[in-house]
Amino acid sequence: MGFKEKLKEHLKDKLSEEELSVLPRGFQTLGKIIILKLNPKLNEKKKEIFSFYTIQY
């Protein structure tokens, strides 16, 4: 299962179908910092998305 599929699975109960469709496909790391390019539609869901990264990485 790829990154985006894992992220979608984690967030399926927290985001709408439209929001799930615009999730990032990947990320970059700089030391302990994770860099994501989020679609503006996801601005209000940052905490939910970030929770995936704190669990996975």
The residue ranges of every structural domain in the chain are 3-56
With a pLDDT cut of 90, the percent of the chain lying above it is 44
Name, in order, each residue with C-beta under 8 angstroms of 5's C-beta and a sequence gap of 6 or more: none
With a pLDDT cut of 70, the percent of the chain lying above it is 95
What average pLDDT is seen over the chain? 88
pLDDT for res 15:
94
- Chain position carrying tokens 């929770």: 51
The 10 Å CB-count burial string (b at 16+, else e) for 10-38 is bbeeebeeebbeebeeeeeeeeeeeeeee
pLDDT for res 36:
86
Condensed to tens digits (0 to 9), the pLDDT of residues 18-37 reads: 999 999 888 888 988 888 89
pLDDT for res 56:
66
What is the dotted CATH code of the domain comprising 3-56?
A: 3.30.300.110
Name, in order, each residue with C-beta under 8 angstroms of 57's C-beta and a sequence gap of 6 or more: 29, 34
pLDDT for res 17:
95
